[in-house]
Chains A and B, each alone.
Chain A
Amino acid sequence: MRLPAQLWAGAALSGVFVAAALISLIWTPHPVEGMNIAARLKVPGDGFVLGTDHFGRDILSMLMVGAQTSIAVAVVAVGIGMAAGVPLGLLGAANRGGWIDEIVMRGNDLVFAFPSLVIAILITAVFGPSAVNAILAIGIFNIPVFARVTRGGALSLWTLDYILAARVAGKGRLRISVEHILPNVANLLIVQGTIQFSLGILAEAGLSYVGLGAQPPVPSWGRMLAESQTMISFAPHLALLPGMAIVLTVLGLNLMGDGLRDVLDPRLRRAR
C-alpha cells in the first residue's frame, strides 16, 4: 500500500523535533543554564548557529531542551487522557443507556463545558505554577476527548455480528470490550492521539507564555516567546525562532495525524 505524502512530510517534521529533544539529553552545542553576558543578543551565525538571547544563552540549545519539555508535557498529558478516557469510553459503550454511561457522558459534558485554558490557570493558580501542574491541567482536558472518540467508535462496533457471536460464546461485556472493541478502535485512538499531542504542545506553550508552565531556568518555547516580546524591535529572531519551532512541530503532527487517518480509517481508504 502506498502511504500518503503528507504522512511522510509530517513524520519527517515531527521526527526532527523528537531527534533534537533526544540529542539534547546527552549533548547541546552550549550549556543552557549558564549566562554569558559578553555574548548576549548575537544574531544567528555569529559564533552561534541561531544566535543568543539577552543572557547570552544559545538559542539552538534552548530550543532543543525546550523540545524536550514540550514533548514530555504532551506525552504525559495524552497519556493521562488515554489512560482515563479510553476505559471510560469503553465502559460507557458497553453499558449504553445505562446509569454508568450517563454518569460518564454527563461528566464529560461538564469538563467540556469549562474553557480549558481558564481551568488550567485555575489549577496552576491554586497549586502553584510548575510543569507538573501544567501536565495535569492539559491531561484532564484530554480525558473527555478520548472518552467520546472511544465511545463513538465502540458504539458502532457493538452492533456488528461478531460482537453478537462473542456474546453467544458467553463472553462478558468487559471481556468483549478488551478483546474485540479495543483493538478495533485503536486506529481512531492513534489518530486522535496525534492530534491531541499537537494540541498539548500548543497548550504547554500557551501556559508557559503566561508564566504558568515550566519555571525558569528550564527552557520552554512558550516562555522564550514571552521573554522575547520586549526585544522584538531589535532582536526579532528571539521571537521568530521559538515561534517557528511551535508552528512546524504542530504542523508536522497534524499532517501526520491526517496521513494516519487516511491510512488507518477504512471508510476513507475506500473513498480515495
Chain B
Amino acid sequence: MLSVEGLSLDIHGSPILRGVSFGIAPGEVFGLVGESGSGKSITALAAMGLEPRGAEVRGAVGFLDRDLLEVPEPEMNALRGREIGMIFQEPMTALNPVQRIGDQVAETLVVHGAATRAEALDVARERLARVGLPVDRFPLERYPHELSGGQRQRVCIAMAVALRPKLLIADEPTTALDVTTQAQILDLLRGLVAEEGMALWLITHDLAVVADMADHVAVMRDGRVVEADRTERLFRARAHPYTAKLFADSGHVPARAVQVTATPVLEVRGAVRDYPLPRRTLLGPRPAFRAVDGVDLVVHAGESVGLVGESGCGKSTLTRAILGLDVLQGGTVRIDGDAVHARHLDGRVRAKMQVVFQDPYGSFNPRHRVERLVAEPFHLDPAPPAAWRPRVAAALEAVGLRAADGGKYIHEFSGGQRQRIAIARAIVIRPRLVILDEAVSALDVSIRAQILDLLADLQGRFGLSYLFISHDLSVVRAITDRVLVMRAGKIVEEGPTERVFVAPGHAYTRALIAATPRIPSAWVA
C-alpha cells in the first residue's frame, strides 16, 4: 500500500537519507528501528511531505497509486488525517492545552469536511470510547491537563484514527510512557490494526517493542536501511553486523566483580515526605500528599541497589531527600553513619554522595568549561586549582575521555560523552555512594552498553556503591545486586535482583515484569 523507493533527503547539502526503500502492505504492522540520528523519524516526515525547511527530497513514495512526493500541498493536506494518521512521542505537547479533548478529536473530521460539528462530536465520542476513554468517565469537555500521559496518548490516537485512515504512523508512541501504560497503548494499537484493517508504521528504538508488534522490520543506520525482513526471520538470523550489534547491546550485561561488604553506606529509615496541597476551604487545614511513605532502604559498601517504579511513585522525591535537597517530615537518612539534614548539611558529609542525572543535555552549565564543571564538587573540599587540576584530569581519563578535554565547552560533546563527564563530576571527590537517577535512560543502546561497562569498571576500581533509580527493568536487572520496587510512596518488594525477576512476590512487581516487552527467547537462542 505504501512503498518508499530510493528516498533520499539532503538538508543544505548534507545527506540525511540515502536511498531508503521499503513497503508496507495493507493491515500489516511495519517496524522501523534505529538509534537516534539514524533518520527514522525524518523518513516518516518526508513521506508525509512535512520535511524541514531547506530539505531536498528525491525518490518516490507510492501510496494508493500516487507518488506522495508529487502531490501538491492542498491535496496533501486532504490526505493527511484522512488517509494517513500520525501520532508522536510526546503526548504532553501534541495536544492543544486550551482546547477540550472532544473538540480536538472532532476538529480532524470538521477540517476534512467529513461531518458537521454536531456529527463530528458524536464520532469523537465513539472514537474516544474505542481508545479506552468512555464518555461517562472522560467527558468530551475535559482539558488535556486533566489527563495522565497515557490518557493523552489515547486522545492523540483517537484524533489520528478519527477518519479511519488506511495508514497510521506512530513515531515512538510509547517511549515517554511507563511500562504498564506502554503495554496498554501497544494493546490498543494492535487492536485497532486488527479491527480496522489499518496498516501501522511503528517507528521506535526499542527492539523488544518491535518484536512484540511488527510483521516486518527494517533496521536503519546513518540514513540507510541496512537490513529488512520478516520480524521473526530478521531477529533469528541477525545477518547484518549492525543488527547483531544492536541486539548484543540492548541485552548487554556488564561483567562485574561484586565485592559487597556488610557495612551500610546509606541507611534510610522510615522516610516520610509530604507535599502540601491547596486549601479546600478558605481557612481550613491544607491537605497533604504523601509522596514518600515510610521507606526503609539500605545500600552496603560496594553494592549496587536498584530502585524501580513508575513515574509519580516517589522515587525522585526520595532521591532528593537522600541528597539532602529536600526536608523529610519523618524518618532519618544516614550516609556512612552521619545523619543527613537538608537544612544544615556539613560539606564533609555531603561529599560522600554524588549524583548523575538522566538528561545529558540539561546537566551542565553551557557557559563553563568542562574542567570547571567537573571540579564543581571540590566546593565541598576547598583546595587551590593546583591541587584539583590533576584530579580532574584523572577523573576525565577514568571515564574514558582525555585530560585535554577539560578545556572544551560542553556543546562540543555528544550525549554519551556528556554522560561520561557527568560521571567524572560524580566520582571526582571519591564519594562513597553515587546515585544514578535514570542515568542511562536517555541514551541509545550502544552508548548505554558502554556506559554500563564504565559504571561496572569504576565500581570495581573505586569501591563505589550505586543506587540505581530507573523505570527500565532490563537495565536494572543487568547492573544491580538487589532491587526494591516502589509504588505510591511505599516499597512493595525488596530482594536479590535475580530472585525478584524470576519469582516476583508482589502482584505489582509481577504486573511490571509482565508489561515489559520482551524478544521471544526462542528467537534469540
Contact = CB atoms under 8 A, between A and B. Distances in A.
B and A form one assembly = yes
Interface of A: 160-162, 164-171, 180, 183-184
Interface stretch (B14-22, B164-172, B306-314, B364-372): B364-372
A106 B373 CA distance: 36
A189 B367 CA distance: 16
A170 B364 contact: no
A160 B367 CA distance: 14
B185 to A, nearest CB: 28
Contact of B364 (A162, A168, A171, A183): A162
Given A165-B357, A168-B325, A168-B355, A180 B377 contact: no
B248 interface: no
Interface string B342-361: 00010100110111011100
30 contacts: A160-B362, A161-B357, A161-B359, A161-B362, A161-B363, A162-B362, A162-B365, A164-B325, A164-B355, A165-B363, A165-B364, A165-B376, A165-B425, A167-B323, A167-B325, A168-B323, A168-B325, A168-B353, A168-B355, A169-B376, A169-B379, A169-B380, A170-B345, A170-B347, A170-B350, A170-B379, A183-B365, A183-B367, A184-B365, A184-B367
Contacts of A180: 365
A184 B359 contact: no
Q: For A162, A166, A184, which residue has the most chain B Cβ atoms within 10 angstroms?
A: A162
A120 B372 CA distance: 46
Given A184-B366, A184-B367, A166 B376 contact: yes
* Interface of A: prevailing SS: helix
B367 A170 contact: no
Contacts of B350: 168-170
Nearest to A159: B362
Q: Which 10 A-B pairs have the closest CB atoms?
A: A161-B357, A161-B363, A170-B380, A169-B377, A169-B376, A161-B362, A183-B367, A170-B350, A170-B347, A160-B362
Nearest to A166: B376
B365 A170 contact: no
A107 B15 CA distance: 55
A175 to B, nearest CB: 8
Contacts of A168: 323, 325, 350, 353-355, 377
A165 B347 contact: no
Nearest to A163: B365
Given A162-B365, A168-B323, 4 more contacts: A161-B357, A161-B363, A165-B357, A166-B376
A162 B373 CA distance: 9
A184 B365 CA distance: 8
Given A161-B357, A165-B357, A165-B425, A170 B362 contact: no
A135 to B, nearest CB: 32
A154 to B, nearest CB: 13
Contacts of B377: 168-170
Contacts of A162: 362-365, 373
A96 B345 CA distance: 21
A171 B381 CA distance: 11
Contacts of B359: 161
A130 to B, nearest CB: 41
A68 B353 CA distance: 57
Nearest to A175: B379
A180 B364 CA distance: 10
Nearest to A160: B362
A167 B377 CA distance: 9
Contacts of A183: 365, 367
A165 B367 CA distance: 15
A167 B363 CA distance: 12
B365 A164 contact: no
Interface in B262-320: none
Contacts of B422: 165
A162 B351 CA distance: 17
A167 B325 CA distance: 7
Contacts of A184: 365-367
Contacts of B351: 170
A271 to B, nearest CB: 11
Contacts of B353: 168
A174 to B, nearest CB: 13
Q: For B364, B365, B380, B422, which residue has the most chain A Cβ atoms within 10 angstroms?
A: B365
A183 B364 CA distance: 13
Interface string B136-150: 000000000000000
Contact of B355 (A160, A165, A170, A171): A165
Contacts of B325: 164, 167-168
Contact of B357 (A164, A170, A171): A164
A17 to B, nearest CB: 32
A167 B373 CA distance: 13
Contacts of B345: 170
Nearest to A184: B367
